[in-house]
A and B are shown apart, each in its own frame.
With several copies, the nearest count.
Chain A
């Protein structure tokens, strides 16, 4: 039984918009998604080798949201992630080597092996942080937006959250405050219908999330999370609104994760969701639908794609080698940064 069918229209009727974009931009979006996909698949493939002792939450199937959102942001804009960090981190310009070192618990991981996969953070690219506590960063990101407003700085903060995160009272509190103060922030809610193995229906009443958010007196949008351009455009509007000082936006974006909540492989066979549901969503895979779309417009073909994939694979392999060869922390490293000076 398909409990949560895809309800969008994919790239139907998007052809006419193509001319408003530079081809390089369109290709870059594709490449960024492909890069995340390839890296994630390689992480997944190697997970059983046991060198990465860190809980992973793969974004395979959810690449368009990270890439589309980050395309609408500058490096100075901030991004906060949930536990499902990889796509956010890579799309925001995070350092692949630093990420893989973190997965391998090395000292040159982006947080020196303290945070692991659920706490990727790199200040230099505006990857502002993440939390292993669902919704944990939602108020924190709101505070970052408050800081921008108080300092008169122009950066916009975007925070990713899952559908289940909206059940946490702290999100409600954050939305109230952001709307009250008209903060420059975007709440990007990836609704993938599940929290671990719990479907929405056991957790929330029937109503639409983006309409609920509108109840806080803020702009609220629904955008197809399989369509990277739609995500990009919706984010652009939201970011522009924030930069104009016109306050926060909530974006609900239906997506589907093709893998288990955590770890490698899909776990649909355990029965909490129907494999047919995943398969239906795989038909609107954000990577493949976009590829087909670009291809039909003559902007890409298999050769170009293969070249890209080859480059990315080489980069990925090199980064894994780097991580595996990287030094481990020593006992002394345990004791630093408990308190700041």
Chain B
């Protein structure tokens, strides 16, 4: 079995209610989005290492080359920086590339093109060109992914103007946000999480777009506000649901996109709860948690009833072995414990 497939298969999520609509896996939802976008607009193309191979980016690109031909869905050389520039150039000249990576770690090779070119072109050109580029990657975790295959890089990129950052948590969002990303005229980073790839959910057929900058309540509550995205939010939601039995009523907000950030939904919730827990899949220091925690101190200070807390990764590289990973990654138990502390229980 390739790599962490067994592990991802073994994860258990709440089953969706099939009465609410068609149930689809997360990877299939992204696959459907790509397929619709390719069908809808001849300018869209998909590239990345192995997008046309049998494993097909965790299944996300399965069947696309057969359906849309090798001109529009094609393998890429191992040249992350070069290909990021090539996709940027193609985007500046009428194409809408989707550039896919197995891991966000590989995007670090392309920071010059991403940060200093793609993100800035439209501004530097005074609006003459646009860069409708989607950069996709799946955050790794577990099974020895280790320090070089597990990095969440949204915390490095949040500070960069010109970029948008998308981190879906559900199959519904994964599809709708991907369709929005491809339709967007700016460079958009879509970070999925390996552990969500087989999660199932209700996903409408056909085109729909989930707007950027609009968070969503995953749980309503009054005792504290938990905000985050992707797998970190999923874990927090599980913790929050469990804690209801202990009389803790948490509000859980899925931000969906980190840039643009839905400040309003956080502000509204904080006004009610006065307590903020920020969660992220990346390092807690200096990243997404820091930005949102700082916003609270800056803009919503008057609502705060107690210190802000953040749950991300410790300031340590990711270890490889599961024997160390268990101490490294926050889990539902640790998130629960933090919530209890925040609520004085």
A and B in direct contact, judged by CB atoms within 8 A: yes
In angstroms, Cα B83 to Cα A174, docked, is 8
Residues 120-158 of B at the A interface (beta carbon under 8 Å): 121-132, 142-149
Q: Say if the beta carbon of A150 comes within 8 Å of chain B.
A: yes
Give the residue name and chain of the B residue nearest to A52 (CB).
B144
User: Is the CB–CB distance between B50 and A196 below 8 Å?
Assistant: yes
User: Is the CB–CB distance between A136 and B116 below 8 Å?
Assistant: yes
Q: Given the known A-B contacts A134-B78, A195-B78, are A114 and B112 also in contact in the complex, defined by CB atoms under 8 Å?
A: no
Q: Say if the beta carbon of A234 comes within 8 Å of chain B.
A: no
Contacts of B322 in A (CB 8 A): 53, 105
Contacts of A93 in B (CB 8 A): none
Contacts of A204 in B (CB 8 A): 77
User: Is the CB–CB distance between A116 and B77 below 8 Å?
Assistant: no
Of B82, B90, B109, B122, the contact of A340 (CB 8 Å cutoff): B122
CB distance from A214 to the nearest CB of B (A): 18
Q: Which one of A24-32, A139-147, A289-297, A301-309 is at the B interface?
A: A139-147
Contacts of A133 in B (CB 8 A): 105-106, 109, 112, 116-117, 148
Q: Say if the beta carbon of A191 comes within 8 Å of chain B.
A: no
Give the residue name and chain of the B residue nearest to A197 (CB).
B53
Q: Say if the beta carbon of B244 comes within 8 Å of chain A.
A: no
CB distance from A220 to the nearest CB of B (A): 18
Q: Say if the beta carbon of B89 comes within 8 Å of chain A.
A: yes
Residues 37-77 of B at the A interface (beta carbon under 8 Å): 45, 49-50, 52-55, 71-72, 74-77
Interface flags, A193-228, vs B, CB<8A=1, else 0: 001111000111000000000000000000000000
Instruction: Name the interface size band of chain A.
Output: 35 or more
Interface flags, A279-300, vs B, CB<8A=1, else 0: 0000000000000000000000
User: Is the CB–CB distance between A115 and B320 below 8 Å?
Assistant: yes
Q: Considering residues A114, A117, A132, which has the most beta carbons from chain B within 10 angstroms of its beta carbon?
A: A114
Contacts of A12 in B (CB 8 A): none
CB distance from A323 to the nearest CB of B (A): 12
User: Is the CB–CB distance between A135 and B78 below 8 Å?
Assistant: yes
In angstroms, Cα B148 to Cα A117, docked, is 12
User: Is the CB–CB distance between B86 and A111 below 8 Å?
Assistant: no
User: Is the CB–CB distance between B146 and A170 below 8 Å?
Assistant: no
Q: Considering residues B3, B49, B323, which has the most beta carbons from chain A within 10 angstroms of its beta carbon?
A: B323
User: Is the CB–CB distance between A53 and B144 below 8 Å?
Assistant: yes
Q: Say if the beta carbon of B2 comes within 8 Å of chain A.
A: yes
Contacts of A135 in B (CB 8 A): 78
User: Is the CB–CB distance between A338 and B86 below 8 Å?
Assistant: no
Of B72, B90, B127, B149, the contact of A337 (CB 8 Å cutoff): B127
Q: Which A residues contact B (CB, under 8 angstroms)?
A: 48, 50, 53-55, 78, 102, 105-107, 109-119, 121-123, 128-129, 131-148, 150-151, 164-165, 167-170, 172-174, 176-177, 180, 195-198, 202-204, 260, 262-263, 267, 270-272, 328-329, 331, 333-341
